[in-house]
Amino acid sequence: MKLYATSIPQALSSWATVISNNAGLIEVEINDQDPSFYSIIEKLLLKLSQELSV
């Protein structure tokens, strides 16, 4: 999976790798097979489900 951004933190998670940085557009590749990536997604989903159920 790829993500495009105009700014990113200096230190990236182990599941994110900068592929290119051209004209201010940063291309980041996400390793969606990494367990720590899934952990973050699960936390986001839990938070969203809690917010929607209120």
Is the pLDDT confidence value at 30 over 80? yes
The angle subtended at Cα 10 by Cα 12 and Cα 8, nearest 5°, is 75
Q: What is the pLDDT of residue 44?
A: 92
Tokens of 26: 């940063």
Q: What is the pLDDT of residue 53?
A: 82
pLDDT, the chain, mean? 92
CA distances from 40 to 22, 23, 25, 47 (A): 28, 29, 24, 11
pLDDT tens digits, one per residue of 10-29: 899 999 999 999 998 999 99
Cα separation, 47 vs 3, in Å, equals 22
